[in-house]
Amino acid sequence: MTDYVTVVSGVPRSGTSMMMRMLQAGGMELVTDGRRTADEHNPYGYFEDERVLRLARDASWVAEARGKAIKVIYRLLEHLPPGLEYRVLYMQRDYLEVFDSQQSMLLARGEPAAEQEKQSIISALGRDEGRLLRWVSEQPNFSVLGVTYARAAESAAEIARFLERDLDLAAMAAAFDPCLRRNFRRSSPT
């Protein structure tokens, strides 16, 4: 049992659910509530716990996640309780891919947010994420490993070293489904 909480984070549609699936396949216990089930946008599931959405009001339960992995959207990282150690697997994905993936999901659901202007959303996302990552880098109880979405399967050994865990690397790599990268851009550096 480790004394830190593993946190999988990133902007929406950056591969956080995929990373949770990889950790589970590798043998790590996850903290999820199973409420948000699989759909065409995340065919293997979302691996979420709704309590994360209420972290600003109640984070008392997070201590129970030591030795396990939880998924926390990047904007909520600063609401994690300060008295614990966190090892954050931060998913990185090209913002254009993130935008296209999010738009596809919003359009399929008929949500008005799908009509937002691409460049302003991407610019705001970059500023917001940059601010949050600067904050995280200043926290003595946070360690962060950036994991590129496109190279997640290749990163299994690096992830296991970072977490100091004996994980099943082959199972982790096999849990990565390249077919889910539907919004891949050939010009993307990642």
pLDDT in tens, 28-41: 999 999 887 766 66
Distance CA 164, CA 120 (A): 40
What kind of fold does domain 4-179 have according to CATH? Rossmann fold (3.40.50)
Decide if pLDDT at 189 tops 90.
Answer: no
In angstroms, the CA 166 to CA 16 distance is: 21
Give dist(CA 96, CA 183) in Å, integer: 8
- The pTM for the full model equals 0.86
% of the chain with per-residue pLDDT over 90: 64
pLDDT digits (tens, 9 = 90+) for 48-67: 999 999 999 999 999 999 99
Q: Is the separation of the CB atoms in 23 and 6 below 8 Å?
A: yes
